[in-house]
Amino acid sequence: MDKTATAWINGFLGVLIFSGSLPATRVAVADFDPVFLTVARAALAGVLALGLLLIFREKRPAREDLVSLLIVSLGVVVGFPLLTALALRHVTSAHSIVFVGLLPLATAIFGVWRGGERPRLAFWLFSGLGSAFVAGFALSQGVSASPLGDVLMLAAIIVCGLGYAEGGRLSRKLGGWQVISWALVLSLPIMVALAAFTWPGSFTHVSEPAWLGLAYVSLFSMLIGFIFWYRGLALGGIAAVGQLQLLQPFFGLALAATLLHEAVSPWMLLVTIAVVACVAGARKFAR
């Protein structure tokens, strides 16, 4: 399999895993405090990441890589999970799709800044059009608005785009799973301390769905998804492969239709086809 195909397959798998993150977070924050949820998921994933690094006897990253790892940690280990957890107390998962539609564009912008990539003008046209399709679809669903929730989601998209681009750039040197693992380990002492500090007095009120939500965001959203995602960004380009995030909302809808037997409207299918076309166009003009 050639490098390009490997990159897009890895990116696709990463986005597929991430598509369950916001719904799982929404379920989890119903019973968990958002701050505790953020530090607990990072601490759990950090322990697993530390185990992987020890098992495979990975060399410590160079001193010059620590700043990049800190950016990744602040962006995707702490920033995005915390800001979205806080936002989802004010807005619905459906409303958050409006902002998720901006994430590929944010990732591409930071890819130019941090990754040294130079996509052509047509790439930006396709990327912007795809973002508009996703945001327009979400708005057409009649979502509720909250100024505070919107500000939190916008901040989450900015820090996540930076964390994705920085991680994708560093993965070219260290490897995808190594980058997210070292970022998690770097933040592990603080996350464990904060988890202990924010530990609830009792878990009797926590429902089974909330526990499952915590398990999903800890294992899949915080670790496994990034193994595929960062490898895809490193091999195929941050700006190009990053456009796959446009499909994330529709993966979630497809899962809902399959598992929950929810209806899929013709409008939904048309928008999905349009977004796929935008991803293909952006890929063609990314370099």
For residue 54, what pLDDT is reported?
Answer: 96
Q: What percent of the chain has pLDDT over 70?
A: 92
Q: In this predicted model, what pLDDT tens digit does every residue of 26-44 receive, in sequence order?
A: 889 889 999 999 999 999 9
Give the pTM: 0.88
Q: Are 117 and 239 in contact (CB under 8 A)?
A: yes
pLDDT of residue 257: 66
d(CA 248, CA 279): 12
In contact, 240 and 12? CB cutoff 8 Å: no
Is the CB of residue 153 less than 8 Å from the CB of residue 99?
yes
- Which residue carries 């003008």 as its tokens? 121
6 has pLDDT over 60: yes
Reported as a single tens digit per residue, the pLDDT across 269-284 is: 787 788 888 888 888 8
Residue scoring higher pLDDT (108 or 143): 108
User: Which pLDDT tens digit goes with each residue over 127-178?
Assistant: 989 888 887 877 776 666 678 888 898 899 999 999 999 999 999 999 989 9
Q: How confident is the model at residue 210 (pLDDT cuts 50, 70, 90)?
A: very high
